[in-house]
């Protein structure tokens, strides 16, 4: 929001190397041979089937891609694990089971465990010999996770903590061997994390939950009744559980965004295949403008999320490498690197899940009546998508976090937010710049993007100055500002990716990608204006409101652009290749 990024400084998915692409292909082959033929059996939760699939995935190494080699993994970087989440995304309930195991089930031990804990658990989790689950949510502690009441009390001998409480919505709960459980010791303000094995005893479960979607994912309520946990199975330090939960959720959020990319790509393939086959009024429905609009918009939104996801993934890898070079321990560096990009993680969770919901909804519409039938693929895709706006913190909570984290960093002096915001406010009093247009490649798009950043700074800065200490209670305004920030981030990421491709391949080779970037940029302009207008009307009035609205309109002004024809060209490329090929 406060500075320009050079296209040479971002990673784009076209840069994955041969080994990474082979890992991606292995995931795709596994879904094709083991998962997709068995989707109905998986949804019926056929006894032992999911465990068998996880075992087979473990044999292929898919559970240990980012686990260090010393613990039996491949030792690949964070962006490679993002690629796996993308590739496994179309796996429906299997993708949920794998992601829960490799992410929130395994990473707390890898990043926070001591040497003995890592040596005992990580090799078995990496191979799939043991399956993992994560127990944070309680009936009265969802988004407010730290309010959980599950209790841990040290026994008289001082050898074990006795865990008592109830956890719910536990993914993999029905078959997990190891649970990461959060509980409070005595009157502690914050949670403490424990590693609990199923065989410790004192663990009972409710039957599997009946759910709207992801029906094949094991989801249980779990009860701990004087469950004895050896003191050496405390994870990290006493009272550090909430910090563990927050940091691990950052990783889960960006991985969810990556998973949504793969899921959406599969739905787009199915939708264009059907549109090319379905004939109405004597024509394939892919020839109709209304259908082409849907297909193009599905592509544009997915491409934008994909551009942002792998940009952020590489940012995390680069930050990790720098921290390790500076002497920081591996686990701590992983967490610190992810924490530095926690805002991007939240953005990708929100925009990824909402992109996928849009894609599956339009997929149903393209299929028409067949889209509503369980005999066609869209029905399952539609139902399975819906959970993603709730998983890893609801989208409302994540929108609030985007702004909250940004303002906290500004208050800590980690970034100068108010200086640029005040400069933008001062610009409103100056004579508009009527300099001649720069005809260099991407000059107009960069100018437009720069103005969108100014619009975001204008509204955010004015909200901080006007509302000050009460801003944290103005959730609608915070969500308006979060939308402005998110659309700018995705528009910039898309533009940088296409600019990099342009310089590598030439304009003609990336004409479709240029259309995508420009369509998304113009969408972002409209969304930034809408969010800014709603926010300003919520806290400003009189001459102040008039002046800021003049500024908002100035910063969201664009030249005429035939967005319909651009979408037509995107759709034609998709229809001609009969698959997502961007």
Catalytically active residues are 392
d(CA 548, CA 555): 10
d(CA 115, CA 126): 16
Residue 234 gets the label, from left (phi > 0), alpha (psi -120 to 50) or beta, of: beta
β-strand 132-135 against 178-185: which pairing, if any? parallel
d(CA 101, CA 203): 19
d(CA 19, CA 29): 15
Query: 266: number of CA atoms within 13 Å, CB side?
Result: 21
User: Is 365 within 8 Å of 278 (Cβ atoms)?
Assistant: no
User: Is 478 within 8 Å of 470 (Cβ atoms)?
Assistant: no
Which 3-state string (H, E, C) describes 150-218?
Answer: CEEEECCCCCEEEEEEEEEEEECCCCCCEEEEEEEECCCCCCEEEEEEHHHCCEEECCCCCCCCCCCCC
CA distances 131 to 97, 109, 135, 544, Å, are 9, 13, 14, 58
Helix (H, G, I), strand (E, B) or coil at 293: helix
Of 386, 89, 24, whose CA–CA distance to 265 is shortest?
A: 89
d(CA 465, CA 129): 55
């Amino acid at each position: 929001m406060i500075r320009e990024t050079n296209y040479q400084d971002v990673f784009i998915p076209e840069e994955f190397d041969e080994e990474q692409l082979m890992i991606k292909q292995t995931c795709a082959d596994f879904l094709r041979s083991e998962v997709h033929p068995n989707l109905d059996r998986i949804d019926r939760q056929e006894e032992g089937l999911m465990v068998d699939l996880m075992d087979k995935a473990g044999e292929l190494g898919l559970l240990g891609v980012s686990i260090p080699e010393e613990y039996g993994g491949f030792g690949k970087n964070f962006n490679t694990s993002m690629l796996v989440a993308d590739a496994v995304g179309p796996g429906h309930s299997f993708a949920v089971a794998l992601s829960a195991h490799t992410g929130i089930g395994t990473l707390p031990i890898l990043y926070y465990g001591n040497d003995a804990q890592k040596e005992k658990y990580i090799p078995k989790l990496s191979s799939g010999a043991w399956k993992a689950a994560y127990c944070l949510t309680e009936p009265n502690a969802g988004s407010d996770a730290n309010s959980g009441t599950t209790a841990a009390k040290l026994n008289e001998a001082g050898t074990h903590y006795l865990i008592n409480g109830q956890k719910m919505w536990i993914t993999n709960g029905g078959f997990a061997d190891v649970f990461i459980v959060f509980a409070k010791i005595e009157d502690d303000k914050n949670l403490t994390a424990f590693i609990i094995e199923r065989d410790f005893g004192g663990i009972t479960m409710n039957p599997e939950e009946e759910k709207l979607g992801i029906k094949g994912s094991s989801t249980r309520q779990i009860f701990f009744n004087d469950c004895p946990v050896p003191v050496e199975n405390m994870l990290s330090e006493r009272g550090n559980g909430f910090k563990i939960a927050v940091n691990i959720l950052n990783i889960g959020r960006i991985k969810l965004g990556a998973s949504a990319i793969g899921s959406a790509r599969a739905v787009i393939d199915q939708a264009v295949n059907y549109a090319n086959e379905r004939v109405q009024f004597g024509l394939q429905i892919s020839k109709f403008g209304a259908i082409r609009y849907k297909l193009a918009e599905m592509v544009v939104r997915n491409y934008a999320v994909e551009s942002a996801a792998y940009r952020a993934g590489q940012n995390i890898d680069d930050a990790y490498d720098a921290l390790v070079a500076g002497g920081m321990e591996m686990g701590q560096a992983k967490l610190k690197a992810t924490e530095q990009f926690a805002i991007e993680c939240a953005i990708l969770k929100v925009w990824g899940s909402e992109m996928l919901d849009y894609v599956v909804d339009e997929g149903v519409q393209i299929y028409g009546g067949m889209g509503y039938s369980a005999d066609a693929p869209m029905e399952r895709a539609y139902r399975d998508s819906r959970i993603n706006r709730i998983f890893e913190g609801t989208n409302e909570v994540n929108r609030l976090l985007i702004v909250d984290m940004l303002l906290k960093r500004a208050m800590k002096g980690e970034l100068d937010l108010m200086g640029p915001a005040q400069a933008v406010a001062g610009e409103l009093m100056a004579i508009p710049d009527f300099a001649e247009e720069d005809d260099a490649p991407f000059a107009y798009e960069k100018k437009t993007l720069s103005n969108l950043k100014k619009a975001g700074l204008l509204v955010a800065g004015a909200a901080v100055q006007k509302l000050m200490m009460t801003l944290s209670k103005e959730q609608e305004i915070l969500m308006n500002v979060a939308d402005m920030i998110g659309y700018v981030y995705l528009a910039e990421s898309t533009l940088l990716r296409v600019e990099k491709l342009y310089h590598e391949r030439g304009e003609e080779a990336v004409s479709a990608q240029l259309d995508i970037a420009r369509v998304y940029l113009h969408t972002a302009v409209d969304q930034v204006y809408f969010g800014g207008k709603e926010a300003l009307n919520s806290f400003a009035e009189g001459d102040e409101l008039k002046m800021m609205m003049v500024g908002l309109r100035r910063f969201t002004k664009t030249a005429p652009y035939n967005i319909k024809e651009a979408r037509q060209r995107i759709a034609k490329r998709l229809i001609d290749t009969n698959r997502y090929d961007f």
